[in-house]
Amino acid sequence: MKKSKQNIKINGDELHKKITELFNQNNYKSFNYKQIASELEITNREERIKIQNILSELTETGTIKEISKGKYISNFGNKEIIGTIDVNKSRNAYLISDDVKEDVFIAFTNLHTAMHNDTVKIRLFVRNGKTKIEGIVVEIIKRANLEFVGIIKKSKNFSFFISDNPKMIYSVFVPKENLNGAKDGEKVIIEIINWRKREKNPTGKVKEVLGMQGNNNVEMHAILAEFGLPNKFPENLENEAKKISTKITKKDFVERTDFRNITTFTIDPADAKDFDDALSLEFLENKNYKIGVHIADVSHYIQPNSALDLEASERATSVYLVDRVVPMLPENLSNNLCSLRPNEEKLCFSVIFEMNDEAKILNYSIEKTIIKSDKRFTYEEAQEILETKIGIFAEELLTMDKLAKILRQKRFTNGAFNFDHKEIKFILDENSFPVSVFFKVSKDSNNLVEEFMLLANRKVAEHIGKMDKEFVYRVHAEPDLQKLEVLRNFINRYGYKIDNSSKTRLSKTMNNLINDVVGKPESSIIENLSIRAMAKAIYDTNNIGHYGLSFEYYTHFTSPIRRYPDVLVHRLLYSYLKKNKVNTDDLKTLCKHCSFKENQATQAERASIKYKQVEFLQDKIGQIFQGIISGVAEYGLFVELIDNKCEGLVHISTFKDDIYLYEPENFQIIGENNGKKYQLGDVISVKIINVNFEKKQIDLVLFQK
């Protein structure tokens, strides 16, 4: 209920304090005396006159500044704050800082050599006659990066480097002696070595020549280098991995539970080579089921602080580009020694559950094991058996599918979110050229594996969490309320609603929303907006739970071949089970590092997808497609082509019928004179006019008959 305006008098000192606090708490907002009265809920005429007098006094003392007649703003004077630079496409930037509520705008001319992600100190100011707070960089505290990937452009007397990353807004001057043999148009890795004051561009040297642009291997290596990811292992590490013994010893058999005679299988993508999880099922005499989730015992082979361990911790994750996997571990470990290949005895770390027919866990154990997988299924093979109910291990697969569906339903009932985000996949020819594009859709076989992996991850986290030990958790914070409001406003246009009055109501209505939009033109947009409203999951030692999964305890235990946090979890778990002394001094730092590398790997994967989309459409210039407006910005419309899921840009400059204005609150641009609207989610016809390999960008124009 809205408070009634007060008509009582406020003590002069108290009013002075309230007005000062109002300006301090709203550093970026300007007020006139009427707005201040409204904020403080004052209607008394005498008190309003006092406000004007206090404003004059605060202006004289320099606490506030009059930026236009009767309008005041907090006077920062020489106030300086520290934060991180975020460059946008217009070459201007914003400072992101915990010291301010809103990001601070920094014009390109005030960056003073600061680059994207640099940590800087800025001074706040207000331009004469303006109301917006801006910043000017006065010190670069820490450079985020001095190495970049891009193209060498040569002329007769000098060369320049142009970065592939649009957020690197400066060209780099490269003297002849620093070219390292690079030719015009070649992709290179460059290092900035100098940037003198008053020079518009930095000076750099070529560290590595990757090759001519357009070559698939060159482009994939360039993407990896752009995000600071390696493309190969040092030879000494490959050799060290080959020396590790594959022999299972008598000691292993004594210390481990033998599962070799229990029906066990793996289910993985058709092109997978590193099988790090297997499932086993035993039908018990009491009509219950003994289910084993068996995970490759990577920590058995990689000792802490060894050269292999240090390399794995630095990489932190395998990287999945469109045409290749860059593994976290050398091939002899990832694809051979640790991979749970069929008909081979393998060492595992396992979570064993006894469950009844209702998927209730009656008891469980966590133990080191030896397994021998009986069968390697692809997801497609397992799916066919689930659908036809015929095939090898059909009874086991159907039983586990039944239990997985119960577990899945329990999760959703408890408030988990059903974000089954579609993955873009390409069919490539022998030269890695994309010949078709499609969305990968999860089916029952995928869900079967997922549910038991989730169960094992949760049970391991819960087991250690209740011991109150330092641990690596996979945590997921509550959603951003502002982004939820953006989603709510958008879906209202289509007649959909979400209810965030409680966590359970929100998850239920969000899951209903995702189900309701399946197969509809707006489905992709709504799914993406829904995911954006959610926080990003990260690794942390501070357990806040996993909001999206609705788990109080959650970790990553099931993929140690491709994720370093899982290796850490295995080590900690085993030490706690054995009651060994554990050193956790660097654990929080490692969690932050793993979260960062995961993000870098994700960005690299997206960049490879964008490149392949451009490659796929290069021979389709001039063709017309139906598309859905997937993004709206002041510089144009992003459009996802319905036939092939590729996304391109219709630049605002190509609109000839009117001047179009950007309305972010309505997710649209609108003609100033004709009133024509183009909104997020609209279906439009577009023509491809250009593909840009350097920017990984597809240029479109509206097509109207």
At 5 the pLDDT is 43
Give the pLDDT band (50/70/90) at residue 28: low
At 481 the pLDDT is 79
At 685 the pLDDT is 94
Question: Which has the minimum average pLDDT: 231-245, 301-315, 472-486, 522-536?
Answer: 522-536
Give the pLDDT band (50/70/90) at residue 507: confident
The verdict on residue 225 lying in a domain is no
Higher pLDDT pick, 517 / 400: 400
At 578 the pLDDT is 93
pLDDT at 85 over 90: yes
Q: What is the pLDDT of residues 621-680, one digit of tens each?
A: 999 999 999 888 888 999 999 888 888 999 999 998 899 999 887 888 999 899 999 988
Following DSSP, what letter does each residue of 518-562 receive, concatenated? TTSTTHHHHHHHHHHHSPPPEEESS---BTTTTBSS----S-TTT
Same domain, 481 and 498: yes
- pTM above threshold 0.85: no
Q: What is the pLDDT of residues 91-122, one digit of tens each?
A: 899 999 887 777 888 999 889 999 999 999 98
Say what percent of the chain tops pLDDT 70.
Answer: 96
Same domain, 541 and 622: no
Decide which of 127, 142, 157 is a domain's last residue. Answer: 142
Average pLDDT value over all residues in the chain: 89
Following DSSP, what letter does each residue of 293-311 receive, concatenated? EEEE-HHHHS-TTSHHHHH
Residue 58: strand, helix, or coil = helix
SS3 string, 655-696, reads: CCCCCEEEEHHHCEEEECCCCCEEECCCEEEEEEEEEECCCC
- Domain ranges, residue 292: 241-399
At 1 the pLDDT is 36
- Residue 382 to residue 496: CA distance in whole angstroms: 36
pLDDT at 519 over 80: no
Same domain, 288 and 256: yes
Give per-residue burial for 92-131: e unless 16+ CB within 10 Å, then b: bbbbebeebeebbbbeeebbebbbbebbbbbbbbbeeeee
**Cβ-proximal residues to 621 (8 Å cutoff; 6+ apart), any chain:** 688, 689, 690, 691
Please answer whether residues 234 and 330 qualify as being in contact, where contact means their C-beta atoms are separated by less than 8 angstroms: no
Q: What is the pLDDT of residues 185-194, one digit of tens each?
A: 999 999 999 9
* Residue 677 CB burial class (10 angstroms; 0-12, 13-18, ≥19): middle
At 11 the pLDDT is 65
At 27 the pLDDT is 61
CA distances from 402 to 394, 445, 447, 450, 539 (A): 12, 11, 11, 13, 31
Structure tokens at 578: 């054995």
Please answer whether residues 670 and 661 qualify as being in contact, where contact means their C-beta atoms are separated by less than 8 angstroms: yes
* Residue 249 CB burial class (10 angstroms; 0-12, 13-18, ≥19): exposed
Structure tokens at 659: 């001047």
Decide which of 142, 165, 192 is a domain's last residue. Answer: 142
Average pLDDT over residues 286-307: 96
Q: What is the pLDDT of residues 580-594, one digit of tens each?
A: 988 888 999 999 999
Same domain, 327 and 345: yes
At 268 the pLDDT is 95
Same domain, 549 and 597: yes
- Residue 172 to residue 314: CA distance in whole angstroms: 29
Average pLDDT over residues 604-608: 94
Same domain, 367 and 382: yes
> Which DSSP symbol is given to 619?
T
Partners of 551 in beta bridges? 546
Question: Which has the minimum average pLDDT: 68-72, 200-204, 372-376, 394-398?
Answer: 68-72
Please answer whether residues 457 and 474 qualify as being in contact, where contact means their C-beta atoms are separated by less than 8 angstroms: yes
Structure tokens at 61: 């003392």
At 630 the pLDDT is 87
Same domain, 325 and 339: yes
Same domain, 378 and 248: yes
Instruction: Report the 10 Å Cβ neighbour count for 431.
Output: 7
At 573 the pLDDT is 97
Backbone angles phi, psi at 514, to 5 degrees: -60, -40
Same domain, 387 and 470: no
CA distances from 700 to 188, 514, 612 (A): 29, 29, 17
Average pLDDT over residues 542-563: 95
pLDDT at 9 over 60: no
Same domain, 362 and 281: yes
Say what percent of the chain tops pLDDT 90.
Answer: 61
Average pLDDT over residues 72-86: 79
At 224 the pLDDT is 94
Same domain, 314 and 279: yes
CATH label of the domain that carries residue 69: 1.10.10
> Hey, which of 151-160, 483-492, 494-503 has the most confident mean pLDDT?
151-160
At 98 the pLDDT is 80
> Which DSSP symbol is given to 335?
I
The verdict on residue 218 lying in a domain is no
Structure tokens at 542: 């501070």
Higher pLDDT pick, 602 / 416: 602
Give the pLDDT band (50/70/90) at residue 6: very low
- Residue 534 to residue 642: CA distance in whole angstroms: 25
Average pLDDT over residues 563-569: 98
Same domain, 251 and 367: yes
Number of domains the chain is built from: 6
Residue 280: strand, helix, or coil = strand
